Amino acid sequence: GEYRDAIERLQRSLDTGTITDRELGSRTQFMIGRTYFKFLKDKENANRSFVKVLAKYPGTKIADHPYLDFLNEK
């Protein structure tokens, strides 16, 4: 139930540059969005996070995830 703490830790890892692998970075950003969406029911922050996956990590495996299909159509 400590989803916001988990999101903060993941975001801090991305912001500080601790994660240098693009695939891991994209999955981490995706997990932030998924946590907002699935567990916190916060669609606005989920969408922001998913948009960052596509903007910062194009061509990564997770960028093809079905959760992101609706963003690719815009």
Q: What is the chain written as a DSSP string?
A: --HHHHHHHHHHHHHHT----HHHHHHHHHHHHHIIIIIS--HHHHHHHHHHHHHHSTTSGGGG-GGGHHHHT-
| pLDDT value for 72 | 61
| pLDDT value for 39 | 96
Model pTM score: 0.90
| pLDDT value for 73 | 59
| pLDDT value for 36 | 96
Mean pLDDT by 10 residues, the chain (74 residues): 94 95 97 96 95 96 87 60
